[in-house]
Amino acid sequence: MVHGKKLAKDLLLPSVVEDDDADTERAELQPEEEQKWSQTGVDVHEPEDQHSYPDGHGADGGETDCGGERQTSDEAYDTDLELGGEEEQYDPTGQTCYRKACEMLQVVPVSHFLKHMQCSELDLMHRGLGPQGTKALAVPLVTNTSVLRLNLRDNWMEGMGGAAIAKMLKENCYITEVDLSDNNLGDDGARAMAGMLKENNTLLSLSLSGNRFTDRCSEDLGSALVANSRLQHLDLSYNALGELAGQTLGDSLSENMGLRSLSLAWNCIRGRGALMLANGLGGNVFLRKLDLSFNGLAREGALALGQTLRDNNVLEELNVSNNRIPPEGAIRLAMGLKANKTIKSLNISRNPILSAGCYGILQSMQDNPNSALEVLDFSDITVNQDFEDLYLSVKETFPALQVNHGAKLAHSEV
């Protein structure tokens, strides 16, 4: 493992290096005392996050100026953490390291973190860390051996903070669960996370929900899923992943050998993206739970999923609610269920499949004595008496079956 101070040095350096001439001129104008301070401290006045780079370095590779003399990141290593020439002392808790990082970055230390940094579960939701506070937090976590589950949900860390956490996770080999939801990471943050996943082999669960990811980061995420065989649970819900992401992730799913659950709910996957995603699922032999709710699978996506369910013998939970699936799509999906032996839960609620679609799916169970279905969710879909009669018949064969549906019509549909 790389020493924590080396990573800390990278995290704390300015993101963009100022012009050489301007720095030299500024150093000449500084009083002697100010020049002495600039040689032992770091420049904490960083640019706006949108102008920084995902890996936390500047445009010229991470160089910085101290007192008018240009230094590389490695040369600035000691002065970043050893202020005032003081002799460094062993810090088993990481508190001293964290306080120094906060001082350099001019952020207030989080008291909850100081109190619980030796706990196995660290919950820092809604703390308003921001990019700088996140960078300071990442420094002591590099060498922390206590924290196993880290929750940083809703801290508006942006791409800069996301890159800092990604760097930390490349070095920390103890943390197994991380929640970075609702942090406005953007595509730069997604790329940083993808790069981390290609190197990290201890992380089991990662939530990146609600971070404004778009198709621009889909190739990075896809290649990460191919390279990483350790991650078991990934949440990419509430983003803006679209058709290209569906295609890329579909290809990646067919090669992924680690994921057990994947959530792509509340994205914009439709058209060819939906087809490719469904086809990729057919080649995956590890995924147990898939949430595709609130996308746009429509008829074509449902047809592809039907074929996938015919071939796939590992998937146990599938959620395709709110996907604009028509009755024909539901019936074609049901054809796949006739041969499926593993699906236990199917949620196809809030789709315009009508009672005919619900009837077709229920009939597939009747035609499949090896069906594993235990829960069928048709919520908010009105059914007729024909469906109710079939349900009573199917219950005789599958007494444990639970079916949820909307209102019941008094007479069969014409």
Of 292, 281, 360, 358, the C-alpha closest to 321 is: 292
Here the tokens at position 404 are: 């949820």
Q: Could you read off the pLDDT of 35-91 as tens digits, one per residue? A: 433 333 333 344 344 333 334 333 333 333 333 333 333 333 232 323 334 445 667
Residue 27 has pLDDT above 80, yes or no: no
Residue 23 has pLDDT above 90, yes or no: no
338: buried, middle or exposed (CB in 10 Å: 19+, 13-18, 0-12)?
A: middle
Of 14-28, 313-327, 385-399, the poorest mean pLDDT is in 14-28
Structural domain boundaries in the chain = 4-85, 165-405
Q: What is the pLDDT of residue 73?
A: 33
Q: How far apart are CA 96 and CA 94, in angstroms?
A: 6
For 252-297, give the DSSP string: HHHH-SS-SEEE--SS--BHHHHHHHHHHHHT-SS--EEE--SSB-
Q: How many CB atoms lie within 10 A of CB 121?
A: 12
Residue 203 has pLDDT above 70, yes or no: yes
CA distances from 185 to 50, 102, 107, 167, 239 (A): 11, 21, 20, 14, 11
pLDDT band for 8, please (50, 70, 90 cuts).
Answer: low
45: buried, middle or exposed (CB in 10 Å: 19+, 13-18, 0-12)?
A: exposed
Strands of 48-159 (E only): list them: 64-66, 69-71, 121-123, 149-151
| Chain centroid to CA 163 | 13
Q: What is the pLDDT of residue 25?
A: 40
Q: Give the mean pLDDT of the chain.
A: 83
pLDDT band for 170, please (50, 70, 90 cuts).
Answer: very high
Q: What is the dihedral of CA 243, 245, 246, 247, to 10 degrees?
A: 90
Residue 10 has pLDDT above 70, yes or no: no
Strands of 176-248 (E only): list them: 177-179, 205-207, 233-235
Q: What is the pLDDT of residue 91?
A: 76
Q: What is the pLDDT of residue 229?
A: 96
Q: What is the pLDDT of residue 89?
A: 62
Q: Which fold has domain 165-405?
A: 3.80.10
Q: Could you read off the pLDDT of 219-268 as tens digits, one per residue? A: 999 999 999 999 999 999 999 999 999 999 999 999 999 999 999 999 99
Q: What is the pLDDT of residue 9?
A: 54
Q: Could you read off the pLDDT of 363-377 as tens digits, one per residue? A: 999 999 999 999 999
